Amino acid sequence: MNTQNKLLPGDWLPDLFAAGDVAANAQLPEIQARMDDLAMKAAPLARSWSRWMTAIQALAVMGPCLWMVRRAVGLSPWVAALLTLTTVLILIGALWWMRWKGMQRTWARARLVAEVARSQMTASIFPVLPARHVLDAVPALRPIVEIHDEAHEQPWPQWKDIWLKSRVDDQIAYYKKAKQRAEDSRKHFTKWATVFMDVMLALAAAGVILTVSSRAPQWLRMLGDYRMEAFLGAVGMMLPLGIVLIQSLRYLQELNRRTARFARQISMLEKARADLLAAPSQEVALQIVSATEDQLLGEVVDWYFEAETAEQFYQVRESAQPQRQSQEKINERSTASKWAWAAGGAGLLFLGRVVLGRMPFVIAASAATLGWLSFSAPSDPEARSKLKAEGSLVDETGKPWIPDPELAPNGTIIIAHGLHDGAITTGDGTDSPWMREMRVALIKRLGDKSPNIGLVDWAAAAMPGKAHKIDPGNEVGKFLADLAGIPSQAREIGDLLAFRLAQMIWNKQIDTTKPLHLIGHSAGGFVVSRAALRLKMMNLAPATMHVTILDTPAPDNELTVQVPQACSSMDFYVTSQFVIGLDDNAPPEGIHLKHITPPPGGSLLDAHSYAYKWYTAGIPAAKPEETGFGRSPFSTVQP
């Protein structure tokens, strides 16, 4: 019978027939065979892959555990990290592959059509088609349900015997085998879960025996010392994990539910068989057949609606509605070529989308790791020893700064630069004159009353990524790594600066009865604030210790709370959007806070640099107590 003219517009059946190469004039046996084949190719992998998925999940958990036992088994950190990443990638790929394959509507539709075709072929023996009300919920099946081959009709009661043998007995045999397989699998899982529990108990008891005695250290040494501890810990963790995975596998395979469902179908079919054998008339027999077919088809209808309403994680399509093709074009395309495209093109599209969709997490994790390294590197003993050589006090020529004893009675001023800057040149060799220009402005203002003025040069250390050889491979990544590491790097330099100043105080090169003014721009604010704190802790802080912060980004509790308590006075001048969270109307206690508006039209970096330009420009004419240099203890000095 030709089904082409009975296909309804908008139904999914035409597209399903096109995918399965079902001819326009196909009969029920061909429809059933081709739909069975299509369902097998598009079958969901959730149950068939459940054992593999359990193994992959176990590997994904055991991978990170290598970090705990790698020393015991002699693995390098690189191998542990690579194996961990590999197991995670395998798990993510497997999960997304299952999502793609496991949610395909094609499988549920093909299986439903195949079962309906099988039911329809068996029903062809009836002179009157039995009602199957369960199929009323799927209008797309109407063209198949209406097919009836009168050539195979059998009279009553002959059709009863044929239907019992070809439909009921075959289904009973199928469900009995399926029930037995489910029960065997359930027993197998129970056995292994019990074995794992017994071994877990034995290991736990062995651990107590090994450690309860006063000779436990000696016994552990005899059995491998920390290697034995690593073994007990790793195996002791993997055994309960194995039990959890076994239980998960039982759940994934729905063994209890499937066993109960098979038993119910067997019971239903056996009752239908007995009722049909005792049926007194054809009408009663047809009622029994209709009820039995409803229950048999109800299973695949349930699967169909579950797939139709399931979450669609990924779908390959060229348009919102797939275009239907003529039967001639369908016949021109071989099944092999279509499935090659499905396995290759669709698979690559799926995996590409999944992999690319995870890239933001990979990039974020890489950036966070590099930032953490950059932040933590200054506290490393090896890095700290290197910083001692890269942070120094210099004069206007770049030579080591030696305070002039004759200027000691006038006090001391220390100036510090920030990120990617330097006292003479930056870490990249670019000239940086602003600290020398500020020094010249101070000398001109104070004349013969000028104090000793030292410049903190930490240009090499002011590029944390370069200093600690943390290279993300691109400029944006380098800058972000530098931002993450610069506060801790600057404070390490501040510790070194405090020690150098303490030496000079002990050597009488700095007079603590005279003012000490610490000026820091950008990250240099962290340098001078840390130095001020350390001098206070060592009881070496001068009586007048003034700290000036010029546009230091992300000020924290140390800078806004602890430093004001450690020094006699403190200023904080903001010129850019790098500094947020500070309000002139409600400044932190003990801080003179002022937002300075930079010239219009400049960039964010121009506004950031404007802080030291503005401060330097205000030195010559600043009046005492006036914002800027006027708040310095040296502003009252008359040359």
User: Which CATH number covers residue 599?
Assistant: 3.40.50.1820
Which tokens hold the place of 383?
């890095």
Q: Would the pLDDT of 633 be above 60?
A: yes
Identify which has the larger pLDDT, 475 or 241.
Answer: 241
DSSP state of 413: E
Which tokens hold the place of 615?
């401060």
Structural domain boundaries enclosing 407: 391-465+489-631
Query: Are 203 and 318 members of one domain?
Result: yes
Segment 374-403 shows an average pLDDT of 71
Q: Would the pLDDT of 613 be above 70?
A: yes
Spatial distance between the Cα atoms of 635 and 622, rounded to a whole number of angstroms: 7
510, 411 Cβ separation under 8 angstroms: no
Split into its structural domains, the chain has a count of 2
Query: Are 459 and 566 members of one domain?
Result: yes
pLDDT for 474: 67
Of 74-83, 271-280, 349-358, the range with the lowest mean pLDDT is: 349-358
Closest by alpha carbon to 54, among 243, 282, 217?
A: 243
Phi, psi torsion values for 627, nearest 5 degrees: -55, 135
Note whether residue 639 is domain-resident: no
Note whether residue 478 is domain-resident: no
Confidence class of residue 382 from pLDDT cuts 50, 70 and 90?
low
How many residues are there in the chain? 639
Q: Would the pLDDT of 131 be above 90?
A: no
Strand partners, 520: 416, 549
Last residue of a domain, one of 304, 333, 362: 333
Note whether residue 365 is domain-resident: no
Strand partners, 302: none
Phi, psi torsion values for 421, nearest 5 degrees: -130, 180
Q: Tell me which residue has tokens 């604010």.
A: 525
Segment 560-571 shows an average pLDDT of 96
Query: Are 306 and 416 members of one domain?
Result: no
Phi, psi torsion values for 594, nearest 5 degrees: -150, 130
Query: Are 293 and 425 members of one domain?
Result: no
Note whether residue 343 is domain-resident: no
Of 131-135, 186-190, 276-280, 422-426, the range with the lowest mean pLDDT is: 131-135
Q: Would the pLDDT of 586 be above 80?
A: yes
Query: Are 311 and 406 members of one domain?
Result: no
Confidence class of residue 333 from pLDDT cuts 50, 70 and 90?
very low
* Residue 629 C-beta-side C-alpha neighbours within 13 Å: 23
Query: Are 10 and 107 members of one domain?
Result: yes
Q: Is the pTM value of this prediction over 0.85?
A: no
